[in-house]
C-alpha cells in the first residue's frame, strides 16, 4: 500500500465517520422539528448564530464560486468520446440552477416586494411557470446537443464546445450566488437554518453540564459504556460502499498509486464499472471485505454490550432492568434481522456488500426482489435501534429512563449520539441492501442506457467523473431521504407492550423470515429449471422495476414541487376588534409601535 492509497483510505474513513455523526445530528433535528410540525407545533428553532452581513454574504457567494470552479475545470479537460454528454451536462446544470433561482426569486419578490425593475419583471410570472419552463428546457436540451455536429465545436483541435457549456453553467451559478448574497440585509444577520443549530447547542450544553456519578457505581465500566454504545456503529460502516469504483490511470506503470496519479482519472469506464487495463481501481468503501455482511452483523451485535454494561455499572435497579430489557430486545431481534436477509444472500450468492449492491444495480433493487424481506428487515432494524414503537428499554412510567437513568452531561450525550448514529446506520443498511446502494436506475459505468430486455431506448455516454459524482450523491441522498421517512414511523405509532415486543420478534418475525427463506428457495429452484426463457423474462421485469423507480421518482418530484408552489387558500374572518384593526393595517406584521 502506497502513501497515496493510505491517505485515500484516511479520507474515506473521515468521510464515513463524519457522515454518520452529521446524520446523527440531522436526525436529532429531524426527530424534534419534524415531530413538532407533525403535531402542528413550531418546534425547537431558537438556536441562532449572529454574523456580520459581510460574512454572511461571503458564506453565500463563496460556495457558489467554489462549485462553479469545480464544475468548469473538468469541462476543459480534453476527453474524446464524451463531448456531447459534457455539453448536455453543462447546459442541464445551467438550466437547473437557472429555473431554481428564478423560482426562488419570484416567490421571494411576490412575498416581500421588489427592489428593482429586474425583480419586478421576474415576479410577473408565477413561480410555477419557472418550474414548468425549466422542465421543458431540461427535455429540450437533450436533443439540442446531439443536433450540433462534432466538427462545429472541435475547431482548431481544441474542443471548446464542452468548455463553453461548462463555462455557461459556472457563470449562471456564480451570478445566482452573487445575486443571492446581495440580497442579505445590512447589519447583524441572525442565522437559524430552520433550527439546525439546535443539536449543536444541545451538544455544547451537554459538554458544560455537571457530570454526576452514583457513589457505588463501577467507575471503569460506567465510564466505558457510552463508548461501547457508539463504537460498533462507527466501525461497521467501514464495509459499506458509498460510491462506485474509481479508476486512476497508472501513469508510471508501477502498479501502485502515487500522489501524482490521483488527478488522472480514467476517461470512460466500461458499462459494468470495471477499470480498463493499466488502471488502478479504488473502491469508495473503507475496506472491501469479502465477508462484509457477516462483519456488519458480528460487530453490530456487540452494540448490546454498551447498554448492558451501562445498566449494570450504574448501581440502580431501574437502570439494571432497563439494561436487561435492552439486552433481551436486541438479542431477540438480531435473530430476525439476520434471517430476514438470507433470501437476498441466496439470490445474489455472496455476502460481499459491494457485490450485493452491484447485483441490485444490474438487476432489480432489493425491495423489488424481496419485498417481504424488506418489511421484516425494516421492522427488525427499528427494534434493533430501540426507537419508538420499540423503545421499551426506556419508559417514564415503568423504569424511568432505563439504562440511561444515571447518566448525565456528555456521557448521556454520547449514548444519545450513539443511538442516533445507529439510527442513521440502519438507514444506510436498508439503502445498501434494499434500495440499490449508490445505484441510480439506468445509470451504468459509462453513462445512461435505458433498455428493456434487449431493446435499447436511450443512450448517453458520460465520463467516469460525472458517473462517480452522481453515484456518491445518490447514496447519501437516499440515506437522508430514508431517514426522513423513518422519523415518521416514530411519530405515527404508539409503543408496544414488552410481551408484545417479544412475541412479535419470536412468534411472528422469526417464522415469517424462515418461511420467506423456504419460499425463496423454491422460487430459485423453479427459475433455474425454467431455463433461458425464465431468465430473460426476469431480466425484462427487472428493467421494468428500474423504469418504475425512475418514473415514480420523476412524477413524485414534479407533483411535490407543483404542490409546494401552490399558493395557500385561506378563509379570512374579521370577527374581533383586534382582527378589524389587523385588517385595517393590512396584516399582523407588527410595526415598531405595536406591542
Partner 1 sequence: MTNQAGKNTDDLSSTAETPWTKPPVRITRGTPVYRADRTPQVQIYLNEWMKGTAVTMRHFFRNAKERFLGQKRDPVLEDFEGGVTTIEYPEEKRPYPERYRGLHRLTIRDDGSPRCVACLCCSTACPAQCIHIEPGEYDEDDPRHGYERYPEVFVIDELRCIFCGFCVEACPCDAIRMDTGMHPTAYDSRSQFIYDRELLIEFGGRDGARQTHNPRHEPGDPTYPGLSRDEH
- The stretch among 139-147, 418-426, 429-437, 580-588 that binds partner 1 (CB under 8 A) is 580-588
Kindly state the number of chain residues that form the binding site for partner 1, as judged by CB under 8 A: 44
Residue with cell string 424511568? 400
- Euclidean distance between CA atoms 378 and 384, whole angstroms: 10
- The stretch among 36-44, 47-55, 308-316, 421-429 that binds partner 1 (CB under 8 A) is 36-44
* Residue 571 found at the interface with partner 1 (CB under 8 A): yes
At closest approach, how far in Å is the CB of 563 from partner 1? 8
User: Which position among 2, 34, 350, 408 is part of the footprint of partner 1 (CB under 8 A)?
Assistant: 34
- List Cα–Cα distances, 592 to 224, 476, 582, 588, 589, in angstroms: 55, 45, 14, 12, 10
Q: What residues between 186 and 215 interact with partner 1 by CB under 8 A? A: 194
Nearer to partner 1, 14 or 585 (CB): 585
Nearer to partner 1, 253 or 571 (CB): 571
User: CA-CA-CA-CA torsion for 392, 398, 404, 406, nearest 10 degrees?
Assistant: -170
* Residue 481 found at the interface with partner 1 (CB under 8 A): no
- List the one residue out of 223, 211, 200, 199 whose CA is nearest residue 410: 211
- CA count, 13 A, side-chain hemisphere, 226: 18
Nearer to partner 1, 253 or 572 (CB): 572
- Euclidean distance between CA atoms 347 and 310, whole angstroms: 40
- Euclidean distance between CA atoms 516 and 343, whole angstroms: 7
User: 202-213: string of b/e by CB count within 10 Å (b at 16+)?
Assistant: bbeebeeeeeeb
Q: Would you say 330 and 384 are in contact if contact means Cβ atoms under 8 Å apart? A: yes
CA-atom Rg of the chain in angstroms: 27
* Residue 39 found at the interface with partner 1 (CB under 8 A): yes
Taking each helix axis from N to C terminus, what angle separates 53-76 and 83-112, rounded to the nearest 10 degrees?
160
User: Which position among 349, 453, 552, 567 is part of the footprint of partner 1 (CB under 8 A)?
Assistant: 567
Pairing assessment for the beta strands 447-452 and 455-461 based on DSSP bridges: antiparallel
Nearer to partner 1, 263 or 581 (CB): 581
- The stretch among 265-273, 327-335, 346-354, 576-584 that binds partner 1 (CB under 8 A) is 576-584
User: Which position among 231, 491, 498, 506 is part of the footprint of partner 1 (CB under 8 A)?
Assistant: 491
Interface mask toward partner 1 for 93-132; x: CB under 8 A: --------------x---x---------------------
- Euclidean distance between CA atoms 199 and 183, whole angstroms: 28
* Residue 493 found at the interface with partner 1 (CB under 8 A): yes
At closest approach, how far in Å is the CB of 487 from partner 1? 9
* Residue 488 found at the interface with partner 1 (CB under 8 A): yes
- The stretch among 232-240, 307-315, 338-346, 491-499 that binds partner 1 (CB under 8 A) is 491-499
**Residues engaged in binding partner 1 (CB under 8 A):** 34, 37-42, 107, 111, 194, 375, 488-489, 491-493, 563-565, 567-568, 570-583, 585, 587-591, 593-595
Amino acid at each position: 500500500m502506497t502513501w497515496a492509497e493510505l491517505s485515500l483510505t484516511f479520507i474515506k474513513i473521515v468521510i464515513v465517520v463524519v457522515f454518520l455523526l452529521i446524520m446523527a445530528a440531522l436526525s436529532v433535528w429531524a426527530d424534534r422539528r419534524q415531530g413538532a410540525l407533525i403535531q402542528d407545533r413550531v418546534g425547537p428553532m431558537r438556536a441562532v448564530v449572529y454574523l456580520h452581513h459581510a460574512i454572511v454574504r461571503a458564506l453565500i457567494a463563496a460556495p457558489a464560486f467554489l462549485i462553479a470552479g469545480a464544475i468548469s475545470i473538468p469541462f476543459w479537460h480534453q476527453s474524446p468520446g464524451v463531448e456531447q454528454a459534457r455539453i448536455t451536462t453543462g447546459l442541464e446544470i445551467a438550466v437547473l440552477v437557472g429555473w431554481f433561482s428564478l423560482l426562488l426569486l419570484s416567490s421571494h419578490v411576490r412575498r416581500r416586494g421588489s427592489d428593482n425593475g429586474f425583480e419586478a419583471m421576474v415576479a410577473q410570472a408565477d413561480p410555477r411557470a419557472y418550474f414548468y419552463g425549466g422542465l421543458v428546457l431540461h427535455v429540450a436540451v437533450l436533443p439540442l446537443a446531439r443536433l450540433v455536429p462534432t466538427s462545429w465545436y472541435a475547431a482548431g483541435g481544441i474542443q471548446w464546445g464542452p468548455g463553453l457549456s461548462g463555462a455557461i453553467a459556472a457563470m449562471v451559478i456564480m451570478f445566482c450566488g452573487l445575486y443571492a448574497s446581495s440580497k442579505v440585509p445590512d447589519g447583524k444577520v441572525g442565522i437559524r437554518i430552520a433550527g439546525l443549530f439546535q443539536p449543536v447547542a444541545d451538544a455544547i450544553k451537554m459538554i458544560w453540564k455537571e457530570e454526576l456519578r452514583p457513589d457505588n457505581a463501577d467507575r471503569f465500566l460506567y465510564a466505558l459504556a457510552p463508548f461501547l454504545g457508539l463504537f460498533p456503529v462507527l466501525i461497521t460502516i467501514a464495509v459499506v460502499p458509498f460510491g462506485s469504483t474509481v479508476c486512476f490511470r497508472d501513469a508510471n506503470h508501477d502498479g501502485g498509486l502515487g500522489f501524482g496519479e490521483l488527478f488522472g482519472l480514467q476517461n470512460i469506464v466500461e458499462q459494468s464499472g470495471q477499470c480498463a487495463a493499466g488502471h488502478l481501481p479504488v473502491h469508495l468503501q473503507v475496506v472491501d471485505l469479502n465477508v462484509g455482511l457477516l462483519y456488519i452483523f458480528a460487530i453490530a451485535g456487540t452494540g448490546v454490550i454498551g447498554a448492558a454494561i451501562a445498566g449494570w455499572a450504574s448501581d440502580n435497579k431501574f437502570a439494571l432492568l432497563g439494561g436487561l430489557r435492552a439486552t433481551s430486545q436486541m438479542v431477540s431481534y438480531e435473530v430476525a434481522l439476520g434471517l430476514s436477509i438470507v433470501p437476498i444472500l441466496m439470490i445474489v450468492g455472496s455476502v460481499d456488500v459491494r457485490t450485493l449492491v452491484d447485483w441490485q444495480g444490474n438487476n432489480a433493487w432489493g425491495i423489488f426482489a424481496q419485498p417481504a424481506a424488506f418489511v421484516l428487515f425494516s421492522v427488525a432494524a427499528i427494534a434493533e435501534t430501540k426507537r419508538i414503537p420499540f423503545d421499551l428499554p426506556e419508559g417514564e412510567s415503568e423504569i424511568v429512563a432505563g439504562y440511561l437513568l444515571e447518566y448525565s452531561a456528555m456521557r448521556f450525550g454520547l449514548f444519545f449520539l450513539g443511538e442516533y448514529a445507529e439510527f442513521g446506520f440502519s438507514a444506510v443498511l436498508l439503502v445498501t441492501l434494499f434500495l440499490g446502494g449508490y445505484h441510480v436506475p439506468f445509470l451504468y459505468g459509462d453513462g445512461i442506457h435505458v433498455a428493456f430486455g434487449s431493446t435499447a431506448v436511450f443512450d448517453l455516454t458520460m465520463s467516469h467523473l460525472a458517473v462517480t459524482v452522481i453515484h456518491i450523491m445518490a447514496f447519501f441522498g437516499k440515506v437522508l431521504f430514508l431517514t426522513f421517512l423513518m422519523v415518521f414511523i416514530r411519530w405515527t405509532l404508539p409503543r408496544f407492550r414488552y410481551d408484545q415486543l417479544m412475541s412479535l420478534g419470536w412468534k411472528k418475525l422469526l417464522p415469517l423470515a424462515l418461511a420467506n427463506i423456504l419460499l425463496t428457495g423454491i422460487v430459485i429452484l423453479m427459475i433455474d429449471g425454467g431455463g433461458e426463457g425464465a431468465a430473460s423474462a426476469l431480466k425484462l421485469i427487472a428493467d421494468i422495476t428500474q423504469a418504475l423507480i425512475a418514473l415514480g421518482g420523476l412524477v413524485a418530484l414534479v407533483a411535490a414541487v407543483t404542490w409546494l408552489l401552490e399558493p395557500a387558500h385561506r378563509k379570512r374572518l374579521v370577527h374581533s376588534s383586534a382582527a378589524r384593526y389587523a385588517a385595517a393595517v393590512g396584516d399582523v406584521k407588527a410595526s415598531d409601535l405595536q406591542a
